[in-house]
Amino acid sequence: MMLPGRPAKILLIDSNVYFSKRLSDALKREGFEVKACTQASFALTTLEYDTPAAILCSTNMREMGALELARIVHADSKNTGLLIIALGDGSQRALMEAFQAGCDDYIDRSLQPAVLATHVKNIIVSKADGFQPTQMLAQDETSLSGSLTHHDLPGVMQMLGHAHQTGALHINAGETDAVLFFDAGEVAHAECGNLFGDEAVIHILKNCVDNNSGVYKFVYGVTSPQRTVLRSATDLMLDAMREFDESARDTAETELQ
């Protein structure tokens, strides 16, 4: 819970005491109050009387990690808005699983503590004050843009979805020149070459993951007169990752022959 004039409290759950100490120190330097815990089950018991502004939890806990924690916490109507940020290995698959479980964000724990702390601060500030592009990237107030090398496309899409944004996300990655239209956080229309709708979204995601490079620009308020995307962004992301994994496996088998 964030109270005026008081530092926001973060509940940090991680079994690695050394990692937890370094991250706690970095978060304190960003102005947060930090309560560290090594067991998620014990941390759950404190929510009734000491609700934090956010929970930062590792995914690889022995008994209960961020994915299980998110489902339990958000099942309680009193905690549906409580931020849960997962710490994991940074893979695309893990990122998708975290968002599917209900986590609000996912961070690669291999990053330096100071980088992790800054990322957490951006998430909490944007959640408290509304989506603030100038706090994410140094851009004007009409658009959000960046490199897909540093901000992967699924993460950008999830960010726009959680913030319930309306606008057009333009993507240029390798041979991919595409646009995704968002309506209150949902992908409503997609175009990429001759492809439209769900098929276009899957194609865009696969190509961007494969290239791991490119740029994006989100222009706020732009809408599409048509709706061609019928499935949820999370379902489409999971399908794209499944097809990408199958393609990579087939390629590896071909090379071995």
52 has pLDDT over 80:
yes
**Is the Cβ–Cβ distance between 209 and 248 less than 8 Å?**
no
25 has pLDDT over 80:
yes
* Residues 13 and 70 reside in one and the same domain: yes
The mean pLDDT of 23-28, rounded to a whole number, is 94
Q: Say what the pLDDT of residue 192 is.
A: 92
The CATH number of the domain holding residue 28 is 3.40.50.2300
Q: What is the pTM of this model?
A: 0.56
**Is the Cβ–Cβ distance between 141 and 134 less than 8 Å?**
yes
- Tell me the range of 2-6, 16-20, 244-248 where mean pLDDT is highest: 16-20
Residues 151 and 239: their CA atoms lie apart, in Å, by 20
Q: What is the pLDDT of residues 209-220, one digit of tens each?
A: 777 777 888 888
Q: Say what the pLDDT of residue 148 is.
A: 79
* Residues 196 and 257 reside in one and the same domain: yes
* Residues 107 and 196 reside in one and the same domain: no
Q: Say what the pLDDT of residue 120 is.
A: 85
* Residues 102 and 186 reside in one and the same domain: no
* Residues 113 and 154 reside in one and the same domain: no
Extract the tokens encoding 151: 């901000």
Q: Which domain holds residue 5?
A: 1-130
Q: What is the pLDDT of residues 110-157, one digit of tens each?
A: 889 998 898 888 777 766 644 433 333 334 444 567 777 767 888 888
**Is the Cβ–Cβ distance between 11 and 43 less than 8 Å?**
yes
Helix (H, G, I), strand (E, B) or coil at 193: coil
- Element (DSSP H or E) covering residue 191: strand 186-192
